[in-house]
Amino acid sequence: MRTELSDMRIICITSLILLLAAPAFSQQLPYHSQYMFNGYLLNPAVAGSTKELPIMLTFRNQWTGFTGAPLTMTLSAHGNFKEKMGIGGALFHDQTGPTSRTGAMASYAFHVPMNKTKLSFGLSALVFQYVMDKSELTTDAPEDNAIDGAVEKKIVPEANFGILFYGDKFHIGLSVPQLIQMKVDVGYSGSMNKMTRHFFADAAYKFKVSNDFEIEPSFLFKATEAAPMQIDINAKVLYKELIWLGASYRSQESIIAMLGLKKSGFAFGYSYDITLTSIKKYSSGSHEIFLAYYLGGKVKTGKSML
């Protein structure tokens, strides 16, 4: 009985951060605020959808000042292969309190031409190591052997699936991360040790306002099988293929400001999330940066930057 109670305390403690910060959308996947510049992180069907080969490094420090808050790092790249095929890959590390996921992903996409548009189907295979360091946990029974410095590890395979309909100025996508819903046995039972299937739907369209300015509104719907849907509403303004400014609203979670610069194939982006949930009492917000290089020529704002 005592072991069961201790296991329940572990579950509660490791879940507390996410429950405080995102009561409307309980998710296992890390947040990204600048995903509109790297849609491959959301949808494997994006692989090979651009003429350039984007190589992108992203770092996110979520809820700065809150002990145990998520830290996420990703390195990704994708490109064309024999015109109708795309391939991609990513390395990632996500740390939240005593738990972490470190792994790699490989993707394949097939693109079907449809007049001036294309329809793409993508599949990713990924494997990661899930780690729980119980030495970082505390309970009301310090002598409890259930958390006596134990570090539990589990190798987890998973898969993501996606569909993308796109052209030069728009895209509509649907993706299903954690398709298999693998179980992760780290010493306790229940729904918390299962990779939960997610559902993402997004769309964007780029309008040319003048010779110098373009504006691109977009949105992203996110849902899991056991949580309410969340929506991101975004807009960014691009000036002379050099500078962009943007803003997002993430329902019941945050308001986001973005800015960036691109030149000669290089790009830099920064975003700051103003938290709207109760965690704002303990955190000054979230910071995210990305650095990118686009092989194959200068980045053109008139083309998709996914």
Q: Is residue 301 part of a domain?
A: no
Q: List the domain range (segments joined by +) for residue 219.
A: 2-295
The DSSP annotation for 153-184 comes to EEEEEEEEEEEEEE-SSEEEEEEESS-S--B-
- Where the chain has pLDDT below 50, the residues are 1-26, 189-191, 297-306
The confidence score (pLDDT) of residue 277 equals: 85
Domain count, the chain: 1
Residue 137 lies in a domain: yes
**Is residue 304 one of the residues assigned to a domain?**
no
**Amino acid at position 147, single letter:** I
According to the model, what pLDDT value does residue 188 have? 52
Residue 166 · residue 172 · CB < 8 Å: yes
Residue appearing with tokens 């200068």 = 298
Please report whether residue 6 resides in a domain. Answer: yes
Residue 14 located in a structural domain: yes
CATH code assigned at 219: 2.40.160.40
Report the distance separating Cα 96 and Cα 14, nearest Å: 8
Nearest to 15 by CA among 98, 71, 92, 73: 98
Structure confidence by residue, pLDDT tens digits, 63-90: 888 878 899 999 999 999 888 999 999 9
CB neighbour class for 93 (10 Å; exposed up to 12, middle 13-18, buried from 19): middle
